[in-house]
Amino acid sequence: MNGAKCNKTPIQKTVCPVCEESGKKVELHTVRALIKIDLIDTLREEDYSFCPNPDCTVIYYSASSNAVVRKDQLITRIGIKEKESPRPVCYCFEYTVEDIHGEILETGRSTLEKDISDKIHAGLCHCEDANPEGRCCIRNITIGVKECFRLYGTMKKNKETRISKYR
């Protein structure tokens, strides 16, 4: 497995039957791997997509039958669907939103994107299986870093002025 593969997830968009946000297709084995064990038999053998709407409790849906898998039916927490910590964003290397924020507040910058990209190039990434979104999680890190600077970058009155340089 290598990094190149990581970015080649085919994009097939469908629409969540609950919130109508468009989501991308994920592999059935990803859904299977994350659904609670006693629900596996109830999972229909269909094509599923991931609903990216943070306010929607649907994680996976089938565009053909409108079957949905909600977050309380999964064994893992999905960072973008959670408002409280821990909010996992990288499932291969187990980074959370809190890790991103902690580093930025501590040092004024984030090294996680570089760290993950190095690990991807070293062939250590298995996002397709580990990330509930069925794709590379580095984008989640980028979003998390931006979000952190947006949240804290304006705290110029406080001691965190060095953060604003990196916005």
Contact footprint for Zn ion (CB under 5 A):
16, 18-19, 51, 53, 56, 58
> Minimal distance in Å, beta carbon 16 to Zn ion?
3
106 phi, psi to nearest 5 deg? -75, -45
> Minimal distance in Å, beta carbon 48 to Zn ion?
12
Residue nearer to Zn ion on the CB measure, 3 or 23: 23
Pairing of strands 68-70, 58-62: antiparallel
> Minimal distance in Å, beta carbon 96 to Zn ion?
23
Residue 49's H or E segment, with its range, is strand 48-50
Residue nearer to Zn ion on the CB measure, 5 or 71: 71
> Do the Cβ atoms of 79 and 71 come closer than 8 Å?
no
Residue nearer to Zn ion on the CB measure, 6 or 58: 58
- The one-letter code for the residue type at 124 is L
